[in-house]
Amino acid sequence: MCHRQTFWILALVAACVSACTTGPDVDGVWHADAPAWQPTQGTNTLLFGATAPKVSLGVELVIGSYGPDIAGLMRFYRSTQFDLALSPLPPHNDCECAFLHQAKVDATGRVTFVLDGCVPGTSQQAQLALRGELDLLTDGRLVGTVTVDDPSQPTLAARSVQLAFVRVATTASSDPAILDCQNPATLADGNTASGL
Amino acid sequence: MNAQRWPILLTVLLLLAVPARAQTPGEPNALRSGDVPDSRKATRVLAILPVRSHDVAVTDLFSPDAPRQSDWAPAIEAQLAALLRAAPSVRTLSPDQVRQALAQDPTLQPLQQLAQQRYREGLEQYLNLSTDAATQTLQGAVEMGRGGFQDVIDAKPLADAQVMLGVCLLDRGEPAKAHIAFRDAFAAQPQRRFRSNFYAPAVNVELAKAFVDWRETSDLTRPYGDHRRMHALAERLGADGLVYATVRMTPEGPEVWLAIFDARRRVVDSELRVPMRESAPKVDAFLSRWLACLPVAESEPDPTTIRRDNGLRLDMSGGYALYLKQPTRQNFHSVGFSIGVAHEFRNGIEWFGRANMYTSLSDPYRDVLHAFNSVRVIGGLGFTYRFGPVRLYARPGLDAHFLGDFVATTDPNCKFFGTDHPLCDKTSIADLQQRLLFGLNLAVGASVHIGRNFFVQMQGSSSVYFLPFGGTEKLNYPTGGDVGLGYAF
């Protein structure tokens, strides 16, 4: 009798869960393992030239998922010598943050998106298009590559960088400033935002 | 005793005392579970048929002026009527009421009149020496007389026809059939006597034979015929049972044969044979026993009570609704509660009003930007049908739906960054805030009475909105169900 009741309760819970769950949960704030964005040659080279000094960047991915659709942004944090060594000009405020476009997540947990904006390593606030492909692993990390996919930049074509994100918050809506790409100074702990 | 054990002992004593109190014999005549209150007991209709009295001796058959032994029938009929009238839940039809009911039955009157007419025609035909034609006509008269229950109302016309039929049959050389006709005549009118010089001697001989035969062999417990005829008679009278008796003379004195025919089961339910001198106490005991052993029947609900039950009905229900047409990619669900009132102002027709308050739940893709509340008011005329405790209804009505803060979009940027963000595609937003929709609603449901005036109600309903024009294409056809509890005043 007890087993029977337990079965029905579990069945009810399962039905509710299945009715409310629409796919892999990638909502939240993710931080890439540091160091990243290293200017090394080979497969792990994205933008920096071979002669450039090594720099480490912190990468933050903010995601809101709505079924198969995703909205969000990617924000870059300077850890030490963030691109000051490459450019005499400080990066523009827009350059430390880019919105995700055409972002999707499929049933297997693969997240795809397009970044279209100013990203670290590009000098003079140059706009660059990149394509991201990340997979949600069973250990909870979001791991994949971001690849340059911009016909207007043939010298950078197909350069990619591997990123491994760890979720640091399950919701992105607790702090409105996190969603603000234009005014990073409003970040509560904006010590590293924009590198300025 | 250890003082700490006192609470335990007290508890045990209390537990023992409660069942002991429950087993205490209740008040005399108190209703127990399963008993039917007197007010709910169905009244049984018992018809007392005219008592047949076999008080004509063979020696008096042709002496109509000879004093009769005694007519016991009125005494027996009065005794039966008095006993049955005193019984609870019994309505008695006296023999006079039975005669009157049958005589005034509009479907029997033509038969009775036709039987009389045929009898006269048959008599004329016989006197005109048309014996064959007279036989046929009189046979018709007898059949119609029996069909019209003439033997119950007034047996003489039927007995006359049967005697004349027997005479005709004798003239035709059919003594066996004539014997049966004479027997039937005595069965219909046991007290019939004849003048010795009225019929031919041969007829008198056959009459005497038939009389003796009938006296010796007739079934005294079935003086009015077989079960089929008794059942037809009970149906005519609207009776649940027929009570009838026959009194006949025996060497030990008059004897009463009493029988009760159960119209529902179509059997003679009980019989009694008792000397006349002991009939008063024994008939009383017999009837009391029979009445006491009858299964108690509950009365059908009084139509006036039903009418009162179908007065004002109030219910509160939990509800669920789903919009069959919606701007979201996946269904979003609405739950809430409703209050309804209905009043059946005529049998089968009611007016009703209903207020629903819903809160929508998030859809799986969160296309609805935030949960919103809405209020619906529905009213109209309903049609009801009731059988037993179940009441079915269909309620077409008008629906006014005030939408609360309903905003939906399929653009994830609008959801994530807000509808004012530059990335948000404004064209993807469906903003129905504060909109009022009008349309038609149809609800079908059932309520089941669960005791006293409470009922459980379940209904399904659907609406179609058509006003404002052009404003219902994004959100329409709310369909859902309600389950709740109600009270009928």
Q: What is the pLDDT of residues B221-233, one digit of tens each?
A: 788 888 888 999 9
pLDDT attached to residue B303: 47
State pLDDT tens for residues A11-65: 655 555 444 556 788 888 888 754 444 444 344 345 544 455 555 566 778 888 8
**One domain, residues B51 and B148:** yes
Residues B472 and B337 reside in one and the same domain: yes
Q: Closest CB to A64: pick one of B364, B410, B415.
A: B415
Most confident of A174-188, B79-93, B463-477: B79-93
The whole-number pLDDT of residue A12 equals 56
pLDDT tens per residue across span A50-95: 455 555 566 778 888 888 888 888 877 655 333 333 333 334 444 5
Let me know whether B116 and B96 are in one domain: yes
Domain boundary among B293, B322, B356: B293
From chain B residues 338-397, the ones with a CB under 8 A of any chain A CB are: 364-367
Residue B442's pLDDT is: 92
- B53 pLDDT exceeds 80? yes
What is the structure's pLDDT at A191? 34
Q: How far apart are alpha carbons B221 and B217 in whole angstroms? A: 12
Six-digit token pair at B465?
A: 């909105």
Q: Judge whether residue B165 has pLDDT over 50.
A: yes
A70 touches chain B (CB under 8 A): yes
- Does residue B355 share a domain with residue B276? no
Number of structural domains chain B divides into: 2
The pLDDT-based confidence of B443 (bands split at 50, 70, 90) is: very high
Asked whether residue B4 is domain-assigned, the answer is no
Could you tell me the residue range of the domain that residue B257 belongs to?
46-293
Q: What are phi and psi of B425, to 5 degrees?
A: -85, 105
Q: What is the 3-state secondary structure (H, E, C) of chain B?
A: CCHHHHHHHHHHHHHHHHHHHHCCCCCCCCCCCCCCCHHHECCEEEEECCCEEECCCHHHCCCCCCCCCCCCHHHHHHHHHHHHHHCCCEEEECHHHHHHHHHCCCCCHHHHHHHHHHHHHHHHHHHCCCHHHHHHHHHHHHHHHHHCCHHHHCHHHHHHHHHHHHHHHHHCCCHHHHHHHHHHHHHHCCCCCCCCCCCCHHHHHHHHHHHHHHHHHCCCCCCCCCHHHHHHHHHHHCCCEEEEEEEEEECCEEEEEEEEEECCCCEEEEEEEEEHHHHHHHHHHHHHHHHHHCCCCECCCCHHHHHHHCCEEEEEEEEEEEEEECCCCCCCEEEEEEEEEEEEEECCEEEEEEEEEEEECCCCCCCECCCCEEEEEEEEEEEEEEECCEEEEEEEEEEEEEECCCEEECCHHHHHHCCCCCCCCHHHEEECCCCEEEEEEEEEEEEEEEECCEEEEEEEEEEEEEECCCCCCCCEEEEEEEEEEEEEC
B17 in any annotated domain? no
- State whether B365 and A71 contact (CB < 8 Å): no
> d(Cα B392, Cα B448) in Å, to the nearest integer?
9
Q: Determine, yes or no, domain membership for A50.
A: yes
Give the one of A66, A99, A103 whose C-beta lies nearest to B366's C-beta: A66
Q: Looking at residue B277, what is its pLDDT?
A: 84
Q: Which residues of B touch A22 (CB under 8 A)?
A: 330, 364-365
Average pLDDT for residues B313-319, to the nearest whole number?
A: 90
State the nearest Cα–Cα gap between B368 and chain A, in angstroms: 11
- Best of A69, A97, A111, A182 to disrupt the B interface (most B CBs within 10 Å) is A69
Inside any domain, residue B14? no
Do B243 and B225 share a domain, yes or no? yes
Residue A139 has pLDDT above 50, yes or no: yes
- Predicted local distance difference test score (pLDDT) of residue B276: 84
pLDDT grade, residue B37 (50/70/90)? Answer: low
Cβ distance A64 to B412 less than 8 Å, yes or no, reads: yes
- Domain match, B149 and B126 both: yes
Whether B29 is in a domain gets the answer: no
Mean pLDDT, range B170-190, rounded to an integer = 90
The reply to whether A184 falls in a domain is no
Kindly report which listed range (A69-83, B60-74, B365-379, B439-453) carries the lowest average pLDDT score.
Answer: A69-83
What's the average model confidence in pLDDT over A124-131? 70
Answer yes or no: is B177 within a domain.
Answer: yes
Domain end residue (candidates: B272, B293, B314): B293
Residue-level pLDDT at A57:
64
Mean pLDDT over B353-374 rounds to 84
What whole-number distance in Å separates Cα of residue A157 and Cα of residue A148? 6
Q: Which residue of B has its CA nearest to A173?
A: B416
Does B182 share its domain with B260? Answer: yes
**Tokens 């939408």 appear where?**
B403
Q: Sort out which chain A residues have CB atoms less than 8 A from B410's CB and list them.
A: 69
Instruction: Identify the top-confidence range among A114-118, B69-73, B83-87.
Output: B83-87
How many CB atoms are located within 10 Å of the residue A166 CB? 14
| Whether residues B224 and B336 fall in one domain | no
Section B93-102 average pLDDT: 89
Total of domains in chain A: 1
Same domain? For B319 and B270 the reply is: no
Q: Is residue A12 situated within a structural domain? A: no
Average pLDDT for residues B192-204, to the nearest whole number? 87
- Based on the fold, state whether residues B164 and B264 are members of the same structural domain: yes
Is B413 touching A (CB cutoff 8 A)? yes
Question: Does the beta-carbon distance from B413 to A67 stay under 8 Å?
Answer: no
**Residue A135 belongs to domain with CATH number:** 2.40.128.120
Q: Same domain for B87 and B125?
A: yes
Domain enclosing residue A123, as ranges: 23-172
pLDDT at B168 over 90: yes
Does B318 lie at the interface with A, CB-CB under 8 angstroms? no
- Residue B167: the pLDDT is 92
- Give the nearest partner residue to A71 out of B329, B367, B417, using CB atoms: B417
CATH of residue B476: 2.40.160.20
Chain A residue with minimum CA distance to B424: A71
Domain-located, residue B367 = yes
Domain end marker among B293, B320, B352: B293
For residue B416, give the nearest of A20, A67, A71 by CB distance: A71
pLDDT band for position B293 (cuts 50, 70, 90)? confident
- Using 50, 70 and 90 to split pLDDT, how confident is the model at A9? low
B333 touches chain A (CB under 8 A): no
- Shared domain check, B254 and B122: yes
Per-residue pLDDT, B9:
56
CA distance B358 to B367: 18
Q: How confident is the model at residue A113 (pLDDT cuts 50, 70, 90)?
A: very high
**What digits encode the pLDDT tens for the residues B295-312?**
776 665 554 444 445 578
CB A165 within 8 A of CB A141: yes
Question: What is the 3 state secondary structure string of B254-283?
Answer: EEEEEEEEECCCCEEEEEEEEEHHHHHHHH
pLDDT at B406 over 60: yes
B239-290 pLDDT, tens digit per residue, is 888 998 888 888 888 888 889 998 888 888 888 888 888 888 888 888 888 8
The overall average pLDDT reported for chain B is 82
* Best mutation target, A66, A70, A97, A115, to test chain B (most B CBs within 10 A): A66
B416-428: average pLDDT:
84
Q: Which residues 168-187 of A are in CB contact (within 8 Å) with B?
A: 172, 179
Look at residue B255 in the predicted model and tell me its pLDDT. Answer: 87
Whether residue A192 is contained in a domain is answered as no
